[in-house]
Structure 1
Amino acid sequence: MTPPTSAAVPASSGLPAAVLWDMDGTLVDTEPYWMAAEKELVGSFGGTWTHDDGLLLVGQGLWTSAEILREHGVDLPADDIVHRLTDRVQEKLATEGVPWRPGARELLSELRERGVRTALVTMSVRRMAEQIVENIPFDAFDLIVSGDEVEQPKPHPEPYLRAAEQLGVDPRDAVAIEDSLVGLAAAVASGAAAIGVPHIVPLPTSDEHTLWDTLAGRTADDIAAVAAARGAASTEAEAR
Protein backbone atom coordinates (compact mmCIF):
# COMPACT_ATOMS: atom_id res chain seq x y z
CA MET A 1 0.00 0.00 0.00
CA THR A 2 1.15 3.54 -0.68
CA PRO A 3 0.90 6.49 1.70
CA PRO A 4 -2.21 8.63 1.27
CA THR A 5 -1.84 11.48 -1.17
CA SER A 6 -5.32 12.99 -1.04
CA ALA A 7 -6.13 16.07 0.99
CA ALA A 8 -7.67 15.57 4.41
CA VAL A 9 -11.45 15.42 4.59
CA PRO A 10 -12.78 18.95 5.32
CA ALA A 11 -14.10 19.35 8.85
CA SER A 12 -17.28 20.81 7.36
CA SER A 13 -18.08 17.43 5.79
CA GLY A 14 -18.78 15.92 9.21
CA LEU A 15 -16.80 12.84 8.21
CA PRO A 16 -13.96 11.55 10.40
CA ALA A 17 -10.35 12.07 9.38
CA ALA A 18 -9.99 8.32 8.92
CA VAL A 19 -11.83 5.04 9.31
CA LEU A 20 -9.79 2.13 10.65
CA TRP A 21 -11.02 -1.34 9.77
CA ASP A 22 -10.51 -4.65 11.49
CA MET A 23 -10.32 -7.51 8.98
CA ASP A 24 -11.26 -11.00 10.24
CA GLY A 25 -14.92 -10.99 11.21
CA THR A 26 -15.45 -7.34 10.25
CA LEU A 27 -14.44 -6.96 6.62
CA VAL A 28 -14.35 -10.68 5.83
CA ASP A 29 -16.04 -13.71 7.38
CA THR A 30 -12.84 -15.72 7.82
CA GLU A 31 -13.35 -16.82 11.42
CA PRO A 32 -14.78 -20.21 10.30
CA TYR A 33 -11.63 -20.73 8.21
CA TRP A 34 -9.46 -20.00 11.23
CA MET A 35 -11.49 -22.30 13.49
CA ALA A 36 -11.27 -25.14 10.99
CA ALA A 37 -7.51 -24.65 10.67
CA GLU A 38 -7.11 -24.65 14.46
CA LYS A 39 -9.17 -27.84 14.85
CA GLU A 40 -7.16 -29.53 12.12
CA LEU A 41 -3.85 -28.53 13.68
CA VAL A 42 -4.75 -29.58 17.23
CA GLY A 43 -6.17 -32.84 15.89
CA SER A 44 -2.91 -33.61 14.09
CA PHE A 45 -1.26 -33.73 17.52
CA GLY A 46 -3.96 -35.97 18.96
CA GLY A 47 -5.86 -33.23 20.74
CA THR A 48 -9.42 -31.97 20.67
CA TRP A 49 -10.41 -28.43 19.70
CA THR A 50 -14.03 -27.38 20.14
CA HIS A 51 -16.04 -24.46 18.77
CA ASP A 52 -15.94 -22.90 22.24
CA ASP A 53 -12.14 -23.21 22.23
CA GLY A 54 -12.09 -21.39 18.92
CA LEU A 55 -14.21 -18.57 20.31
CA LEU A 56 -11.49 -17.83 22.86
CA LEU A 57 -9.12 -16.88 20.04
CA VAL A 58 -11.45 -14.51 18.17
CA GLY A 59 -9.71 -11.15 17.86
CA GLN A 60 -6.53 -12.29 19.61
CA GLY A 61 -3.06 -11.71 18.22
CA LEU A 62 -1.79 -14.77 16.36
CA TRP A 63 1.18 -15.29 18.66
CA THR A 64 -1.14 -15.13 21.68
CA SER A 65 -3.34 -17.71 19.98
CA ALA A 66 -0.29 -19.85 19.24
CA GLU A 67 0.57 -20.10 22.93
CA ILE A 68 -2.98 -21.21 23.72
CA LEU A 69 -2.74 -23.86 21.02
CA ARG A 70 0.57 -25.02 22.48
CA GLU A 71 -1.27 -25.48 25.81
CA HIS A 72 -3.68 -27.74 23.92
CA GLY A 73 -0.87 -30.02 22.79
CA VAL A 74 0.42 -28.47 19.58
CA ASP A 75 4.12 -29.24 19.96
CA LEU A 76 5.52 -26.57 17.66
CA PRO A 77 7.23 -23.20 18.13
CA ALA A 78 4.80 -20.30 18.08
CA ASP A 79 6.17 -18.98 14.78
CA ASP A 80 5.53 -22.34 13.12
CA ILE A 81 1.97 -22.43 14.45
CA VAL A 82 1.28 -18.94 13.10
CA HIS A 83 2.66 -19.80 9.69
CA ARG A 84 0.84 -23.14 9.45
CA LEU A 85 -2.51 -21.61 10.39
CA THR A 86 -2.01 -18.71 8.01
CA ASP A 87 -1.03 -21.03 5.17
CA ARG A 88 -4.18 -23.08 5.71
CA VAL A 89 -6.48 -20.07 5.83
CA GLN A 90 -4.85 -18.60 2.73
CA GLU A 91 -5.40 -21.92 0.94
CA LYS A 92 -9.10 -21.72 1.83
CA LEU A 93 -9.27 -18.13 0.61
CA ALA A 94 -7.73 -19.19 -2.69
CA THR A 95 -9.92 -22.27 -3.21
CA GLU A 96 -13.19 -21.31 -1.53
CA GLY A 97 -13.11 -17.56 -2.11
CA VAL A 98 -13.10 -14.46 0.09
CA PRO A 99 -16.28 -14.41 2.23
CA TRP A 100 -17.16 -10.73 2.60
CA ARG A 101 -19.19 -9.49 5.54
CA PRO A 102 -22.55 -7.94 4.57
CA GLY A 103 -22.29 -4.27 3.63
CA ALA A 104 -18.56 -3.99 4.34
CA ARG A 105 -17.28 -3.44 0.81
CA GLU A 106 -20.15 -1.11 -0.02
CA LEU A 107 -19.47 1.10 3.01
CA LEU A 108 -15.74 1.03 2.37
CA SER A 109 -16.28 2.03 -1.25
CA GLU A 110 -18.48 4.99 -0.30
CA LEU A 111 -15.97 6.21 2.26
CA ARG A 112 -13.23 6.11 -0.36
CA GLU A 113 -15.39 7.93 -2.90
CA ARG A 114 -15.91 10.69 -0.35
CA GLY A 115 -12.19 11.05 0.29
CA VAL A 116 -11.93 9.40 3.72
CA ARG A 117 -8.56 7.88 4.56
CA THR A 118 -8.70 4.25 5.57
CA ALA A 119 -6.41 1.68 7.15
CA LEU A 120 -6.75 -2.07 7.59
CA VAL A 121 -5.75 -2.91 11.17
CA THR A 122 -5.52 -6.68 11.54
CA MET A 123 -3.85 -9.21 13.78
CA SER A 124 -3.39 -11.49 10.77
CA VAL A 125 0.01 -11.35 9.08
CA ARG A 126 0.65 -8.97 6.20
CA ARG A 127 0.73 -11.59 3.45
CA MET A 128 -2.81 -12.64 4.28
CA ALA A 129 -4.04 -9.06 4.59
CA GLU A 130 -2.57 -8.30 1.17
CA GLN A 131 -4.34 -11.35 -0.28
CA ILE A 132 -7.67 -9.99 0.99
CA VAL A 133 -7.00 -6.46 -0.27
CA GLU A 134 -6.02 -7.76 -3.72
CA ASN A 135 -9.56 -9.12 -4.05
CA ILE A 136 -11.17 -5.69 -3.56
CA PRO A 137 -11.88 -4.12 -6.97
CA PHE A 138 -11.01 -0.57 -5.94
CA ASP A 139 -8.28 1.28 -4.05
CA ALA A 140 -9.59 0.34 -0.62
CA PHE A 141 -6.88 1.20 1.90
CA ASP A 142 -4.13 3.76 2.30
CA LEU A 143 -2.16 1.33 4.45
CA ILE A 144 -2.15 -1.95 6.34
CA VAL A 145 -1.06 -2.50 9.93
CA SER A 146 -0.68 -6.24 10.49
CA GLY A 147 -0.10 -8.51 13.46
CA ASP A 148 3.47 -9.31 12.50
CA GLU A 149 4.38 -5.61 12.50
CA VAL A 150 3.39 -4.62 16.04
CA GLU A 151 4.99 -5.37 19.38
CA GLN A 152 1.72 -5.28 21.32
CA PRO A 153 -1.31 -6.98 19.69
CA LYS A 154 -4.92 -6.11 20.36
CA PRO A 155 -6.33 -5.47 23.01
CA HIS A 156 -3.38 -3.10 23.31
CA PRO A 157 -4.05 0.11 21.35
CA GLU A 158 -0.70 0.01 19.53
CA PRO A 159 -2.12 -1.28 16.21
CA TYR A 160 -4.67 1.54 16.03
CA LEU A 161 -2.26 4.17 17.28
CA ARG A 162 0.25 3.09 14.64
CA ALA A 163 -2.36 3.27 11.90
CA ALA A 164 -3.41 6.79 12.93
CA GLU A 165 0.20 7.92 13.14
CA GLN A 166 1.01 6.57 9.68
CA LEU A 167 -2.10 8.23 8.26
CA GLY A 168 -1.12 11.50 9.91
CA VAL A 169 -4.36 11.84 11.88
CA ASP A 170 -5.22 12.19 15.55
CA PRO A 171 -6.80 8.87 16.63
CA ARG A 172 -9.50 10.90 18.37
CA ASP A 173 -10.54 12.11 14.92
CA ALA A 174 -10.87 8.56 13.60
CA VAL A 175 -13.54 5.86 13.71
CA ALA A 176 -12.63 2.19 14.18
CA ILE A 177 -14.86 -0.74 13.20
CA GLU A 178 -14.48 -4.05 15.06
CA ASP A 179 -16.30 -7.33 15.68
CA SER A 180 -14.57 -8.69 18.82
CA LEU A 181 -14.21 -7.74 22.46
CA VAL A 182 -10.44 -7.73 22.10
CA GLY A 183 -10.58 -5.46 19.05
CA LEU A 184 -13.09 -3.08 20.60
CA ALA A 185 -10.89 -2.74 23.67
CA ALA A 186 -7.95 -1.78 21.45
CA ALA A 187 -10.02 0.71 19.48
CA VAL A 188 -11.46 2.38 22.57
CA ALA A 189 -8.06 2.55 24.25
CA SER A 190 -6.61 4.27 21.19
CA GLY A 191 -9.05 7.15 21.56
CA ALA A 192 -10.92 6.43 18.32
CA ALA A 193 -14.70 6.37 18.17
CA ALA A 194 -15.40 2.64 18.12
CA ILE A 195 -18.19 0.79 16.32
CA GLY A 196 -18.80 -2.82 17.26
CA VAL A 197 -20.51 -5.12 14.74
CA PRO A 198 -21.04 -8.46 16.50
CA HIS A 199 -20.48 -11.61 14.48
CA ILE A 200 -19.07 -14.78 16.04
CA VAL A 201 -19.10 -13.45 19.61
CA PRO A 202 -21.66 -11.14 21.28
CA LEU A 203 -20.63 -7.62 22.24
CA PRO A 204 -21.90 -5.74 25.29
CA THR A 205 -23.71 -2.43 25.27
CA SER A 206 -21.45 0.34 26.56
CA ASP A 207 -21.10 4.10 26.58
CA GLU A 208 -17.54 3.53 25.31
CA HIS A 209 -18.62 2.28 21.89
CA THR A 210 -21.49 2.15 19.42
CA LEU A 211 -23.12 -1.15 18.43
CA TRP A 212 -24.52 -1.88 14.97
CA ASP A 213 -26.20 -5.18 14.14
CA THR A 214 -24.70 -5.15 10.66
CA LEU A 215 -22.87 -2.96 8.15
CA ALA A 216 -25.50 -3.76 5.51
CA GLY A 217 -27.26 -0.54 4.55
CA ARG A 218 -24.89 1.64 6.54
CA THR A 219 -23.47 4.74 4.87
CA ALA A 220 -20.70 7.27 5.27
CA ASP A 221 -23.27 9.59 6.85
CA ASP A 222 -23.90 6.97 9.54
CA ILE A 223 -20.15 6.93 10.22
CA ALA A 224 -20.21 10.74 10.39
CA ALA A 225 -23.02 10.56 12.95
CA VAL A 226 -20.96 8.27 15.19
CA ALA A 227 -17.99 10.65 14.93
CA ALA A 228 -20.22 13.63 15.73
CA ALA A 229 -21.74 11.92 18.75
CA ARG A 230 -18.28 11.06 20.02
CA GLY A 231 -17.16 14.67 19.55
CA ALA A 232 -20.21 15.99 21.39
CA ALA A 233 -19.64 13.58 24.28
CA SER A 234 -15.98 14.62 24.53
CA THR A 235 -16.93 18.31 24.55
CA GLU A 236 -19.50 17.71 27.28
CA ALA A 237 -16.99 15.78 29.38
CA GLU A 238 -14.40 18.54 29.07
CA ALA A 239 -16.96 21.11 30.14
CA ARG A 240 -17.71 19.34 33.41
Structure 2
Amino acid sequence: MDGTLVDTEPYWIRAETELIESYGGTWTHEDALEMVGKGLWDSAAIIQAKGVELSADEIVHRLTSEVRTQIEQYGAPWRPGALELLRAAREAGIRAALVTMSIRSMAQDVVDAAGFDAFDLLVTGDEVAEPKPHPAAYLKAADELGVDIADCIAIEDSVTGVTSAHRAGAIVIGVPNVVSLHDAPTDVLLPSLTEIDVDGLIRLASERAAGTAAAENVEKERA
Protein backbone atom coordinates (compact mmCIF):
# COMPACT_ATOMS: atom_id res chain seq x y z
CA MET A 1 0.00 0.00 0.00
CA ASP A 2 2.45 2.66 1.23
CA GLY A 3 4.62 3.62 -1.71
CA THR A 4 2.88 1.27 -4.16
CA LEU A 5 -0.71 2.53 -4.24
CA VAL A 6 -0.33 5.76 -2.28
CA ASP A 7 2.80 7.88 -1.95
CA THR A 8 2.66 8.05 1.85
CA GLU A 9 6.35 7.36 2.46
CA PRO A 10 7.00 11.11 3.00
CA TYR A 11 4.27 11.05 5.65
CA TRP A 12 5.97 8.17 7.45
CA ILE A 13 9.39 9.81 7.23
CA ARG A 14 8.00 13.02 8.71
CA ALA A 15 6.32 11.13 11.55
CA GLU A 16 9.48 9.12 12.32
CA THR A 17 11.68 12.21 12.24
CA GLU A 18 9.44 14.23 14.55
CA LEU A 19 9.14 11.39 17.05
CA ILE A 20 12.86 10.66 17.24
CA GLU A 21 13.85 14.33 17.38
CA SER A 22 11.37 14.87 20.22
CA TYR A 23 13.57 12.50 22.25
CA GLY A 24 16.76 14.28 21.25
CA GLY A 25 17.78 11.81 18.57
CA THR A 26 18.63 12.28 14.91
CA TRP A 27 17.00 10.60 11.94
CA THR A 28 18.62 10.83 8.53
CA HIS A 29 17.07 10.25 5.12
CA GLU A 30 19.18 7.09 4.86
CA ASP A 31 17.77 5.88 8.20
CA ALA A 32 14.25 6.45 6.87
CA LEU A 33 14.91 4.52 3.67
CA GLU A 34 15.98 1.50 5.72
CA MET A 35 12.46 1.40 7.17
CA VAL A 36 10.62 1.23 3.85
CA GLY A 37 8.53 -1.92 3.65
CA LYS A 38 9.33 -3.15 7.17
CA GLY A 39 6.71 -4.33 9.63
CA LEU A 40 5.68 -1.62 12.09
CA TRP A 41 6.83 -3.50 15.16
CA ASP A 42 10.22 -4.18 13.56
CA SER A 43 10.40 -0.47 12.79
CA ALA A 44 9.48 0.34 16.38
CA ALA A 45 12.50 -1.63 17.64
CA ILE A 46 14.78 0.45 15.41
CA ILE A 47 13.21 3.66 16.71
CA GLN A 48 13.65 2.50 20.31
CA ALA A 49 17.36 2.00 19.57
CA LYS A 50 17.46 5.67 18.59
CA GLY A 51 16.51 6.62 22.14
CA VAL A 52 12.71 6.79 22.00
CA GLU A 53 11.55 5.63 25.42
CA LEU A 54 8.18 4.23 24.46
CA SER A 55 6.89 0.69 24.12
CA ALA A 56 6.67 -0.81 20.62
CA ASP A 57 2.87 -0.57 20.73
CA GLU A 58 3.05 3.10 21.72
CA ILE A 59 5.46 3.86 18.86
CA VAL A 60 3.23 2.09 16.34
CA HIS A 61 0.23 4.02 17.63
CA ARG A 62 2.05 7.36 17.51
CA LEU A 63 3.39 6.88 14.00
CA THR A 64 0.15 5.52 12.60
CA SER A 65 -1.93 8.29 14.17
CA GLU A 66 0.37 10.93 12.71
CA VAL A 67 0.28 9.42 9.23
CA ARG A 68 -3.50 9.06 9.35
CA THR A 69 -3.74 12.71 10.38
CA GLN A 70 -1.61 13.72 7.39
CA ILE A 71 -3.79 11.64 5.07
CA GLU A 72 -6.86 13.38 6.50
CA GLN A 73 -5.26 16.82 6.06
CA TYR A 74 -3.54 16.39 2.72
CA GLY A 75 -5.34 13.43 1.19
CA ALA A 76 -4.20 10.00 0.03
CA PRO A 77 -1.69 10.78 -2.75
CA TRP A 78 -2.42 7.99 -5.22
CA ARG A 79 0.54 6.91 -7.31
CA PRO A 80 0.22 7.30 -11.11
CA GLY A 81 -1.95 4.59 -12.62
CA ALA A 82 -2.86 2.94 -9.31
CA LEU A 83 -6.57 3.75 -9.16
CA GLU A 84 -6.99 3.20 -12.88
CA LEU A 85 -5.44 -0.29 -12.69
CA LEU A 86 -7.46 -1.23 -9.62
CA ARG A 87 -10.70 -0.11 -11.22
CA ALA A 88 -9.95 -1.90 -14.50
CA ALA A 89 -9.08 -5.09 -12.64
CA ARG A 90 -12.34 -4.99 -10.71
CA GLU A 91 -14.33 -4.38 -13.90
CA ALA A 92 -12.59 -7.40 -15.44
CA GLY A 93 -13.59 -9.57 -12.48
CA ILE A 94 -10.05 -10.01 -11.17
CA ARG A 95 -10.00 -10.67 -7.44
CA ALA A 96 -7.67 -8.54 -5.35
CA ALA A 97 -6.20 -8.42 -1.86
CA LEU A 98 -4.37 -5.54 -0.22
CA VAL A 99 -1.30 -6.95 1.58
CA THR A 100 0.26 -4.26 3.74
CA MET A 101 2.32 -3.97 6.90
CA SER A 102 0.27 -0.94 7.96
CA ILE A 103 -2.42 -1.64 10.55
CA ARG A 104 -5.99 -2.32 9.46
CA SER A 105 -7.46 1.03 10.53
CA MET A 106 -5.01 2.94 8.37
CA ALA A 107 -5.36 0.53 5.44
CA GLN A 108 -9.13 0.96 5.65
CA ASP A 109 -8.70 4.74 5.45
CA VAL A 110 -6.83 4.36 2.17
CA VAL A 111 -9.24 1.76 0.77
CA ASP A 112 -12.19 4.01 1.61
CA ALA A 113 -10.47 6.92 -0.15
CA ALA A 114 -10.49 4.94 -3.41
CA GLY A 115 -14.20 5.60 -3.72
CA PHE A 116 -15.09 2.13 -5.00
CA ASP A 117 -14.89 -1.49 -3.82
CA ALA A 118 -11.26 -2.04 -4.82
CA PHE A 119 -10.40 -5.17 -2.78
CA ASP A 120 -11.95 -8.46 -1.76
CA LEU A 121 -9.94 -8.52 1.45
CA LEU A 122 -7.20 -6.82 3.44
CA VAL A 123 -4.24 -8.52 5.11
CA THR A 124 -2.55 -6.07 7.46
CA GLY A 125 0.52 -5.87 9.64
CA ASP A 126 -1.40 -6.25 12.89
CA GLU A 127 -2.93 -9.53 11.66
CA VAL A 128 0.17 -11.57 10.81
CA ALA A 129 2.76 -13.03 13.17
CA GLU A 130 5.61 -12.64 10.68
CA PRO A 131 5.98 -9.33 8.80
CA LYS A 132 7.45 -8.90 5.34
CA PRO A 133 9.96 -10.08 4.05
CA HIS A 134 8.47 -13.30 5.48
CA PRO A 135 5.96 -14.75 2.95
CA ALA A 136 3.20 -15.26 5.55
CA ALA A 137 1.14 -12.21 4.60
CA TYR A 138 0.96 -13.13 0.91
CA LEU A 139 0.25 -16.78 1.67
CA LYS A 140 -2.57 -15.70 3.99
CA ALA A 141 -4.05 -13.51 1.26
CA ALA A 142 -3.99 -16.31 -1.32
CA ASP A 143 -5.48 -18.76 1.16
CA GLU A 144 -8.33 -16.42 2.07
CA LEU A 145 -9.01 -15.70 -1.60
CA GLY A 146 -9.07 -19.44 -2.23
CA VAL A 147 -6.44 -19.31 -4.96
CA ASP A 148 -2.99 -20.76 -5.61
CA ILE A 149 -0.30 -18.19 -4.81
CA ALA A 150 1.49 -19.25 -8.03
CA ASP A 151 -1.49 -17.81 -9.95
CA CYS A 152 -1.24 -14.46 -8.15
CA ILE A 153 0.50 -11.27 -9.20
CA ALA A 154 1.97 -9.10 -6.46
CA ILE A 155 2.84 -5.44 -7.04
CA GLU A 156 5.42 -3.98 -4.69
CA ASP A 157 7.65 -0.91 -4.31
CA SER A 158 10.14 -2.07 -1.63
CA VAL A 159 12.84 -4.73 -1.44
CA THR A 160 11.12 -6.11 1.66
CA GLY A 161 7.77 -6.40 -0.08
CA VAL A 162 9.21 -7.85 -3.28
CA THR A 163 11.12 -10.45 -1.26
CA SER A 164 7.97 -11.41 0.66
CA ALA A 165 5.95 -11.92 -2.51
CA HIS A 166 8.78 -13.79 -4.25
CA ARG A 167 9.27 -16.15 -1.31
CA ALA A 168 5.53 -16.83 -1.26
CA GLY A 169 5.67 -17.88 -4.91
CA ALA A 170 3.75 -15.07 -6.60
CA ILE A 171 4.58 -13.36 -9.86
CA VAL A 172 6.20 -10.10 -8.77
CA ILE A 173 5.94 -6.70 -10.44
CA GLY A 174 8.30 -4.15 -8.94
CA VAL A 175 7.40 -0.47 -9.21
CA PRO A 176 10.14 1.43 -7.34
CA ASN A 177 9.30 4.62 -5.48
CA VAL A 178 11.87 5.84 -2.94
CA VAL A 179 14.21 2.81 -3.06
CA SER A 180 15.83 0.96 -5.95
CA LEU A 181 14.60 -2.52 -6.89
CA HIS A 182 17.30 -3.37 -9.42
CA ASP A 183 18.74 -6.15 -7.25
CA ALA A 184 15.39 -7.33 -5.89
CA PRO A 185 13.76 -10.62 -7.06
CA THR A 186 11.16 -9.17 -9.44
CA ASP A 187 9.71 -10.84 -12.53
CA VAL A 188 8.94 -7.46 -14.09
CA LEU A 189 10.33 -4.03 -13.20
CA LEU A 190 8.28 -1.01 -14.25
CA PRO A 191 8.82 2.73 -13.75
CA SER A 192 5.11 3.29 -13.08
CA LEU A 193 1.76 1.53 -12.87
CA THR A 194 0.78 3.46 -15.98
CA GLU A 195 3.01 0.98 -17.85
CA ILE A 196 0.76 -2.04 -17.13
CA ASP A 197 -2.91 -2.74 -17.83
CA VAL A 198 -5.28 -5.65 -17.30
CA ASP A 199 -4.22 -7.32 -20.55
CA GLY A 200 -0.64 -7.13 -19.34
CA LEU A 201 -1.55 -8.76 -16.03
CA ILE A 202 -3.39 -11.55 -17.80
CA ARG A 203 -0.43 -12.07 -20.13
CA LEU A 204 1.96 -12.40 -17.19
CA ALA A 205 -0.28 -14.98 -15.51
CA SER A 206 -0.67 -16.91 -18.79
CA GLU A 207 3.08 -16.96 -19.36
CA ARG A 208 3.64 -18.30 -15.83
CA ALA A 209 1.01 -21.01 -16.36
CA ALA A 210 2.50 -22.00 -19.70
CA GLY A 211 5.98 -22.17 -18.24
CA THR A 212 4.80 -24.30 -15.33
CA ALA A 213 3.00 -26.69 -17.69
CA ALA A 214 6.09 -27.00 -19.89
CA ALA A 215 8.28 -27.75 -16.88
CA GLU A 216 5.85 -30.40 -15.68
CA ASN A 217 5.87 -32.06 -19.11
CA VAL A 218 9.68 -32.17 -19.06
CA GLU A 219 9.61 -33.81 -15.64
CA LYS A 220 7.10 -36.39 -16.87
CA GLU A 221 9.28 -37.20 -19.88
CA ARG A 222 12.31 -37.65 -17.63
CA ALA A 223 10.32 -39.93 -15.34
CA distance in 2, matches of 1:234, 1:68: 41
Structure 2, unaligned stretches of length 5 or more?
none
Q: Higher relative contact order by CA 8 Å / sep ≥ 6: 1 or 2?
A: 1
Q: Please say if 1:135 is aligned against 2:110.
A: no
| CA drift at 1:227 | 1.5
Q: Which residue of 1 aligns with 2:170?
A: 192
Structure 1, unaligned stretches of length 5 or more?
1-22
| CA drift at 1:231 | 2.5
Go from structure 1 to structure 2 and tell me whether the alpha carbon gap of 1:66 and 1:27 turns closer, same or farther (over 3 Å shift).
same
Q: Which residue of 1 aligns with 2:33?
A: 55
Equivalent runs, 1:49-198 vs 2, <5 Å: 49-198=27-176
CA distance in 1, matches of 2:159, 2:170: 15
TM (norm. structure 1) is: 0.88
Q: Deviations over 1:65-113 (max 9, x none)?
A: 0000111111110000000000000000000111001000000000000
| CA drift at 1:236 | 4.2
Q: Over aligned residue pairs, what C-alpha RMSD do you find?
A: 1.3
- Are the counterparts in 1 of residues 40 and 102 from structure 2 also a CA contact under 8 Å? yes
Q: Please say if 1:42 is aligned against 2:20.
A: yes
Q: Which residue of 2 aligns with 1:210?
A: 188
CA distance in 2, matches of 1:71, 1:198: 28
Aligned length: 218
- Are the counterparts in 2 of residues 205 and 211 from structure 1 also a CA contact under 8 Å? no
- Are the counterparts in 1 of residues 163 and 184 from structure 2 also a CA contact under 8 Å? no
- Are the counterparts in 2 of residues 184 and 196 from structure 1 also a CA contact under 8 Å? yes
Q: Which residue of 1 aligns with 2:3?
A: 25
Go from structure 1 to structure 2 and tell me whether the alpha carbon gap of 1:208 and 1:98 turns closer, same or farther (over 3 Å shift).
closer
- Are the counterparts in 1 of residues 101 and 132 from structure 2 also a CA contact under 8 Å? yes
Q: Which residue of 2 aligns with 1:12?
A: none
CA distance in 1, matches of 2:184, 2:24: 41
SS at match of 1:59: coil
Q: Please say if 1:235 is aligned against 2:205.
A: no
CA distance in 1, matches of 2:28, 2:186: 32
Q: Deviations over 1:53-74 (max 9, x none)?
A: 0000000000000000111111
Q: Which residue of 2 aligns with 1:6?
A: none
Q: Which has the higher helix share?
A: 2
- Are the counterparts in 2 of residues 210 and 226 from structure 1 also a CA contact under 8 Å? no
Give the share of equivalent positions with the same residue, in percent.
54
TM (norm. structure 2) is: 0.94
Aligned partner letter, 1:198? P
